[in-house]
């Protein structure tokens, strides 16, 4: 058994913080340590106690004075959009048609898909993200590249071959049968291999015919434990066009409900402009609305009413994500900075404890994977991020006046990026030096 002792300031959440003074919601050790054995956390707590549990001569890694948290989790990304990020467009549909769809056509080539997959995982790890849920392109070759690279790096990843059979260039279209067959093939090849999770991935209702939605429904019935990921109510023009395509549905959310696609493992990207009826439907289904703040601002899509959705009588489950490449940063820290600003514009407060909860345990709960990732609980996988709140001269100067943990977290969120990430561990292995 390979053991190592990782020392630093430990922070892990027990539940969602209710306020800045809700110290019961998290555990914090100012001189803490994790004992890692065979990729899992064997013990966590204060250094002296954990050290006493380790074998004599155990390898020790000292990260003091840095913070050690569970690795960040990103619940909505597009792996084939790395070379689309920072494309100048007026809105979602123009951005898709002008830049994104032509770029995704290139993923039919395995060599291109493999090259971009290597860069994709490098960027995740550079930014302290150890798990993500991502869309591949329509081509099985893109899913093969995505999952092969995750397996190589030992990462816990969710992903799926996109299903889309209309309203896109010919090179990006499958058919209901192809979408079904190839998703089944991706499941057979990759689901449960290493730490891979295959998701059923109809891109969104605009790019799937009713026939394809039925195929997605068949997959969801056949594989009820799989994640389902799609997009919902991102932009007003998109909503109008979607409802035209499905006139029998009450609203956009009802389209997915009619095809049995709303469940507890359903991740709905954006979900910005929901009616009360739609929010009730998501709440009752236990589906997750995934907030992508940098993307929503970049594409001018709207202000996600996160706090309103969370405190409804029928609350909606919420997660946070970058939405690369509609999003403008790979960093979950930058993402939460923009999430904070969106809530400010809505007259709401998002405190830094909540932000760090959302990036770790909150997103793990949203993915139904909290028994494996998102905390520093013994028995879970040792996916970690080590953070320095003073990596730049400006942050260092600001740190001089900071006295509390929430203040330090808020600085990290407001000014931090990949420079604040000292190290990223995947299943106990340090990954940053190799990228
Ligand atoms: Zn998206």
Measured in Å, residue 132 CA sits from the centre of ligand 1 at: 13
Measured in Å, residue 251 CA sits from the centre of ligand 1 at: 20
pTM of the model: 0.98
Written in H, E and C, the secondary structure of the chain is: CCEEEEEEEEEEECCCCCCCCCHHHEEEEEEEEEEEECCEEEEEEEHHHHHHHCCCCCEEEEEEEEEEEECEEEEEEEHHHCCCCCCCCCCHHHHHHHHHHHHHHHHHCHHHHHHHHHHHHHHHHHCCEEEEEEECCCCHHHHHHHHHHHHHHCCEEEEECEECCCCCCHHHCCCHHHHHHHHHHHHHHHCCCCCEEEEEEECCHHHCCHHHHHHHHHHHHHCCCCEEEEEECCCHHHHHHHHHHCCCCCCHHHHHHHCCCCCCCEEEEECCCCCHHHHHHHHHHCCEEEECHHHHHHCCCCCCCHHHHHCCCCCCEEEECCCCCCCCCCCHHHHHHHHHHHHHHCCCCCCHHHHHHHHHHHHHHHCCCCCCCCCCCCCCECCEEEECCCCCHHHHHHHCCCCCHHHHHHHHHHHCCHHHEEEEEECCEECHHHC
Kindly state the average pLDDT of the residues 309-314.
98
CA–CA distance, 98 with 415 (Å, rounded to integer) = 32
Kindly state the average pLDDT of the residues 34-60.
97
Please give the pLDDT value at position 2: 83
Please give the pLDDT value at position 399: 98
Question: Tens of pLDDT along 333-386?
Answer: 999 999 999 999 999 999 999 999 999 999 999 999 999 999 999 999 999 999
Measured in Å, residue 428 CA sits from the centre of ligand 1 at: 30
- Ion ligand 1 residues within 5 Å by Cβ: 269, 323
Q: Using a pLDDT cut of 90, give the percent of the chain over it.
A: 97
Question: Tens of pLDDT along 279-311?
Answer: 999 999 999 999 999 999 999 999 999 999 999
Measured in Å, residue 353 CA sits from the centre of ligand 1 at: 26
Measured in Å, residue 68 CA sits from the centre of ligand 1 at: 29
Are 181 and 189 contacting, i.e. CB atoms less than 8 angstroms apart? no
Q: State the Rg of the chain over Cα.
A: 21
Measured in Å, residue 153 CA sits from the centre of ligand 1 at: 24
Question: Tens of pLDDT along 256-267?
Answer: 999 999 999 999
Measured in Å, residue 289 CA sits from the centre of ligand 1 at: 12
What φ, ψ does residue 194 adopt, rounded to 5°? 60, -130
Burial bucket for residue 379 (CB in 10 Å: 0-12, 13-18, 19+): exposed
The residues with which 426 forms a beta bridge, in sequence order, are 429
**Please, which pLDDT band fits residue 90 given cuts at 50, 70 and 90?**
confident
Measured in Å, residue 164 CA sits from the centre of ligand 1 at: 14
Average predicted confidence (pLDDT) for the chain: 97
Measured in Å, residue 434 CA sits from the centre of ligand 1 at: 29
Kindly state the average pLDDT of the residues 139-167.
98
Kindly state the average pLDDT of the residues 319-342.
97
What φ, ψ does residue 285 adopt, rounded to 5°? -80, -20
Six-digit token string for 308: 């309103």
CA–CA distance, 196 with 205 (Å, rounded to integer) = 26
Task: Tell whether the model's pLDDT for residue 1 goes beyond 80.
Answer: no
Please give the pLDDT value at position 39: 97
Measured in Å, residue 327 CA sits from the centre of ligand 1 at: 9
Measured in Å, residue 204 CA sits from the centre of ligand 1 at: 9
Task: Tell whether the model's pLDDT for residue 251 goes beyond 70.
Answer: yes
Measured in Å, residue 231 CA sits from the centre of ligand 1 at: 6
Residue 30: how many other CB atoms lie within 10 Å: 12
Measured in Å, residue 26 CA sits from the centre of ligand 1 at: 31
Measured in Å, residue 269 CA sits from the centre of ligand 1 at: 6
CA–CA distance, 375 with 367 (Å, rounded to integer) = 13
């Amino acid at each position: 058994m390979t053991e190592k002792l990782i020392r630093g300031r430990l922070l892990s959440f027990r539940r969602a913080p209710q306020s800045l003074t809700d110290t019961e919601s998290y555990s914090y050790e100012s001189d803490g340590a994790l004992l890692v054995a065979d990729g899992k956390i064997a013990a966590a707590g204060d250094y002296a106690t954990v050290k006493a549990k380790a074998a004599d001569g155990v390898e020790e890694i000292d990260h003091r004075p840095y913070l050690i948290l569970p690795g960040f989790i990103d619940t909505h990304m597009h792996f084939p959009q790395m070379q689309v990020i920072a494309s100048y467009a007026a809105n979602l549909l123009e951005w898709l048609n002008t830049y994104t769809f032509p770029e995704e056509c290139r993923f039919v080539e395995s060599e291109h898909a493999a090259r971009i997959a290597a860069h994709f995982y490098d960027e995740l790890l550079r930014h302290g993200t150890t798990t993500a849920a991502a869309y591949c392109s329509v081509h099985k070759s893109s899913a093969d590249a995505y999952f092969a690279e995750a397996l190589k790096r030992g990462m816990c990843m969710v992903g799926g071959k996109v299903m889309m059979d209309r309203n896109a260039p010919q090179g990006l279209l499958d058919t209901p049968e192809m979408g079904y067959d190839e998703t089944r093939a991706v499941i057979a090849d990759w689901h449960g291999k290493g730490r891979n999770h295959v998701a059923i991935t109809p891109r969104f209702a605009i790019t799937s015919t009713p026939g394809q939605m039925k195929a997605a429904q068949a997959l969801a019935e056949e594989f009820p434990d799989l994640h389902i990921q799609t997009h919902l109510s991102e932009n007003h023009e998109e909503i109008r066009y979607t409802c035209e395509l499905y006139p029998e549905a009450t609203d956009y959310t009802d389209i997915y409900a009619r095809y049995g696609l709303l469940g507890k493992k359903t991740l709905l990207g954006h979900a910005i402009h929901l009616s009360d009826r739609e929010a009730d439907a998501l709440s009752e289904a236990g589906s997750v609305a995934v907030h992508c703040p940098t993307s929503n601002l970049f594409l001018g899509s709207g202000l996600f009413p996160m706090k309103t959705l969370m405190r409804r009588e029928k609350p909606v489950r919420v997660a946070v994500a970058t939405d690369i490449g509609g999003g403008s940063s790979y960093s979950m820290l930058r993402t939460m900075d923009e999430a904070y600003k969106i809530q400010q514009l809505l007259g709401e407060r998002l405190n830094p404890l909540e932000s760090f909860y959302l990036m770790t345990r909150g997103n793990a709960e949203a993915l139904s994977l909290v028994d494996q990732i998102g905390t520093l609980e013994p028995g879970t996988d040792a996916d970690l991020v080590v953070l320095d709140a003073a990596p730049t001269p400006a942050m260092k100067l600001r740190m001089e006046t900071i006295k509390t943990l929430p203040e330090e977290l808020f600085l990290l969120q407001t000014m931090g990026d990949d420079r604040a990430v000292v190290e990223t561990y995947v299943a106990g292995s340090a990954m940053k030096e190799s990228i």
